[in-house]
């Protein structure tokens, strides 16, 4: 059962958040890599889609071993993307359009070129000697425990200057900060304050369950669900239950400190990325009062099939009562195969991902839309000689990497490199993306782009769909049916998530007038709905 919604809500409840991967959005300098001024020039595209906020993946100074997720200076813009003035211009232009700006913050680790690490590695007595996670070897010289890196192999790297190992949950060039040291926490909060003072509207917190580690460095046990972890079976990381290296209880107190800081600024948001390990527990704990307002996980990002029951089960597991934490739904992002390919042949047309995005936008929670998803882009097949992703390089050919989700935006198929750049792009633009370019879809009334814009504009005017309570309703397996309610507004929603027509009777739900203007097709005959493939129905309830 749902509980009654309230008439007031915060901006992030039901928000549409558009994710930009800066390297691949628009290049204004002719070097084949996107930049901050490119984002500024295309803000009208984002605002026109109906987004409330833009999440910008890392653009601070970095050696780019992991394309910005290895920070060498938290307070400087990397010259590849522009200058601090460029960012402030982008920030101002976004605010003029009513767009909030979320900055991707990588607080769990730094680059091994960060001055903090360069000092820490020199010896065991310097002022920052304990700012990273250092440990002595076992008597036989082996790493201190069995922890594994997400990017393959042991998560420990030997450092001869100190005669110790340091922890890296990702690349060895990404040493983990030691959050058990209060000076590290204070330094991170100072960085957050620096950007908040500049006017950013909040942070997307990269791998925020990784901040703390088990101080006793105890081994991880085997993963009891290893047989179901087929998505990452090429990587032994999935064979461990990550009980000791992530998701530690001390993490919650730091998130409360970070939330307390952001709450001293008006209307700021913390959006956390959670790991798939114990996803329900993490979501419940991390989105509790005075922690994160929103969190997303790999619940749908990693799924290679999608149906109504999967969505219902996920929403139910996460909790959809009004006193539960708020999820941020995500079907695509820069780390996963694009849904138009991942969800199988039925998704290739873009109709299935479009219907799923529309349905997710109507559930309780916010929605992230990754650049290109509004165009129905398929995952790109990047040839091995053009691969850039270090994760893909480690596991190729068993795993093709993340490059296929990161290829440049196709703006205009009639221009060189689809209008992304005057120079050969850092990743190739596949031929299949050209007919789906923004210019072509903008000129076609029935395109996915125009339909999504129209739907999100309609949805924006329905308060219950943004911030109301939620109650799922019984329906045939291929139909996702639920009610949203806020004050006196009650809206019944039904989505057909399969490629054949579906019919169902809803005696209680379709007695009120149907809503129109959303762009979906359906036929109602008495208490029975007939939904075309990937169709939907919306009606008000008495």
Residue 297 pLDDT more than 90?
yes
Residue 7 pLDDT more than 60?
no
* Res 524: pLDDT: 87
* Res 262: pLDDT: 98
User: What's the rounded mean pLDDT across residues 184-212?
Assistant: 98
CATH code for position 494: 2.60.40.1180
For residue 526, name the pLDDT band (cuts at 50, 70, 90): confident
Is 136 annotated as catalytic? no
**Do 493 and 453 share a structural domain?**
no
pLDDT tens per residue across span 41-91: 999 999 999 999 999 999 999 999 999 999 999 999 999 999 999 999 999
Residue 150 pLDDT more than 60?
yes
User: What's the rounded mean pLDDT across residues 301-317?
Assistant: 94
What's the token pair of residue 497?
């998530």
**Do 420 and 331 share a structural domain?**
yes
Q: Which of 337-341, 359-363, 431-435, 511-515 has the lowest mean pLDDT?
A: 511-515
Residue 3 pLDDT more than 90?
no
If you average pLDDT over each of 6-10, 173-177, 239-243, which comes out highest?
Answer: 173-177
User: What's the rounded mean pLDDT across residues 124-141?
Assistant: 98
**Do 344 and 493 share a structural domain?**
no
* Res 346: pLDDT: 92
Q: CB under 8 Å to 60, separation ≥6 — which residues?
A: 68, 71, 73, 74, 75, 76, 77, 78
Q: CB under 8 Å to 515, separation ≥6 — which residues?
A: 462, 491, 538, 539, 540
**Do 364 and 488 share a structural domain?**
no
Task: With H, G, I as helix, E, B as strand and everything else as coil, classify residue 529.
Answer: strand
For strands 528-531 and 536-540, give the pairing.
unpaired
Q: Among 397, 424, 457, which residue terminates a domain?
A: 457
For residue 158, how many other CB atoms are within 10 A of its CB? 14
**Do 347 and 495 share a structural domain?**
no
**Do 492 and 362 share a structural domain?**
no
CB 85 within 8 A of CB 137: no
How many residues are present in the chain?
Answer: 542
* Res 8: pLDDT: 61
CB 104 within 8 A of CB 206: yes
**Do 436 and 478 share a structural domain?**
no
pLDDT tens per residue across span 364-384: 999 999 999 999 999 999 999
Structural domain harbouring 531: 469-540
What's the token pair of residue 502?
């579906």
Higher pLDDT, residue 251 or 396:
251
Q: Among 408, 430, 457, which residue terminates a domain?
A: 457
pLDDT tens per residue across span 175-185: 999 999 999 99
- Euclidean distance between CA atoms 179 and 169, whole angstroms: 14
Residue 288 pLDDT more than 80?
yes
Is 206 annotated as catalytic? yes
Q: How large is the angle between the packed helices 250-262 and 182-198, nearest 10 degrees?
A: 30
For residue 232, name the pLDDT band (cuts at 50, 70, 90): low
**Do 227 and 335 share a structural domain?**
yes
> Considering 70, 104, 173, 273, which one is annotated as catalytic?
273
> Considering 66, 70, 173, 206, which one is annotated as catalytic?
206
């Amino acid at each position: 059962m749902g509980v009654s919604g309230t008439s007031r809500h915060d901006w992030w409840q039901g928000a549409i958040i558009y994710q930009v991967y800066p390297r691949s959005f628009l290049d204004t300098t002719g070097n084949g890599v996107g930049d901050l001024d490119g984002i500024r020039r295309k803000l009208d595209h984002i605002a026109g889609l109906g987004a409330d906020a833009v999440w910008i993946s890392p653009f601070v100074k970095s050696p780019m071993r992991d394309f910005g997720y290895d920070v060498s200076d938290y307070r400087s813009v990397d010259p590849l993307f522009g200058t601090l003035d460029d960012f402030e211009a982008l920030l101002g232009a976004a605010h003029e359009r009513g767009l909030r700006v979320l900055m991707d913050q990588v607080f769990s680790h730094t680059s091994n070129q960060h001055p903090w690490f360069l000092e820490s590695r020199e010896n065991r007595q310097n002022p920052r000697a304990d700012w990273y996670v250092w440990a002595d070897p076992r008597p036989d010289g082996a790493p201190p425990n069995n922890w594994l890196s997400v990017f393959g192999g042991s998560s420990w790297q030997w450092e001869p200057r100190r005669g110790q190992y340091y922890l890296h949950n990702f690349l060895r060039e990404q040493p983990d900060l030691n959050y058990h040291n209060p000076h590290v926490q204070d330094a991170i909060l100072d960085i957050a304050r620096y950007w908040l003072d500049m006017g950013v509207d909040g942070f997307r917190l990269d791998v925020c369950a990784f901040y703390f580690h088990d101080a006793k460095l105890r081994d991880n046990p085997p993963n009891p669900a290893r047989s179901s972890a087929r998505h990452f079976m090429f990587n032994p990381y999935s064979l461990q239950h990550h009980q000791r290296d992530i998701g530690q209880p001390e993490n919650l107190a730091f998130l409360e400190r970070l939330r307390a800081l952001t709450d001293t600024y008006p209307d700021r948001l913390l959006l956390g990325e959670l790991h798939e390990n114990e996803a329900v527990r993490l979501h419940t704990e991390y989105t509790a009062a005075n922690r994160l307002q929103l969190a997303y996980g790999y619940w749908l990002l990693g799924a290679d099939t999608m149906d109504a029951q999967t969505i219902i089960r996920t929403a139910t597991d996460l909790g959809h009562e009004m006193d539960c934490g708020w999820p941020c739904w995500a079907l695509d992002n820069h780390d996963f195969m694009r849904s138009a390919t991942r969800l199988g042949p039925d998704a290739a047309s873009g109709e299935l991902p479009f219907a799923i995005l529309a349905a997710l936008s109507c559930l309780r929670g916010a929605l992230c839309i990754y650049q290109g998803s509004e165009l129905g882009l398929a995952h790109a097949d990047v040839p091995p000689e053009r691969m850039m992703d270090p994760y893909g390089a480690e596991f190729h050919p068993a795993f093709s990497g993340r490059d296929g989700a990161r290829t440049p935006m196709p703006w205009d198929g009639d221009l060189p490199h689809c209008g992304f750049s005057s120079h050969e792009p850092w990743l190739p633009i596949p031929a299949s993306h050209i007919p789906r370019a923004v210019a072509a879809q903008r000129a076609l009334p029935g395109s996915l782009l125009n339909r999504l814009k129209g739907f999100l504009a309609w949805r924006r005017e329905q308060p219950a769909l943004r911030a109301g309570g939620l109650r799922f309703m019984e329906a045939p397996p291929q139909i996702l049916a639920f009610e949203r309610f806020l004050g006196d507004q009650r809206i019944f929603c039904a989505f057909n998530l399969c490629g054949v027509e579906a019919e169902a009777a809803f005696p209680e739900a379709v007695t009120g007038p149907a809503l129109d203007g959303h762009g979906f097709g359906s036929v109602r005959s008495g208490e029975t709905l007939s939904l075309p493939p990937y169709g939907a129905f919306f009606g008000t309830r008495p």
